[in-house]
Amino acid sequence: MNPPGISFRLFRDPPEGELVSLYRTAGWIGPEDTPDRIRRLIAGSFLFCGAFNEAGRLVGSMRALSDGVSDAYLLDLVVDPAYRRQGIGGEVLRRLSGHLRSLGVDWIVLAGAPGTEPFYQATEFRVMEGYVPYRLPEEG
């Protein structure tokens, strides 16, 4: 599904300023998110999928961490609040995971934030029965 006026692209090097702007608009940028931290976030990612409005501005994005062969972890699905509920997030997810599958990656996972269950349940992704997520606690 292509929402009207929105185009999608896969890329390795997103427009840094636009990504920062999108994250800021969505409330994802904090004081610890320096330009250097954002550059490292971009450099450490395998692939991005972006959604662009008719003016060419980035309005949605998701990134993958992957070896490009067997495993991928999808994260940071973000859509500009003014563009939400139009199918953009679902399409970004579908295109990014579809491309990874086309590369032969067969273990594609993500962790949804609390409250996102209805969104992800409407996609091909399913709860990983029998698996338990673990997280290393923050220092402090």
Six token digits for residue 83: 């563009």
Measure the CA–CA gap between 98 and 45, rounded to whole angstroms.
17
Residue 126 maps to a domain: no
Q: How many domains does the chain have?
A: 1
User: Quick one: average pLDDT of 13-25?
Assistant: 87
Tell me what pLDDT residue 36 has.
84
Tens digit of each residue's pLDDT (9 = 90 or more) over 71-96: 999 999 999 999 999 999 999 999 99
Residue 105 maps to a domain: yes
Average pLDDT across the chain, whole number: 91
In CATH, what number is assigned to the domain containing residue 52?
Answer: 3.40.630.30
Sign (positive/negative) of CA torsion 88, 94, 96, 99? negative
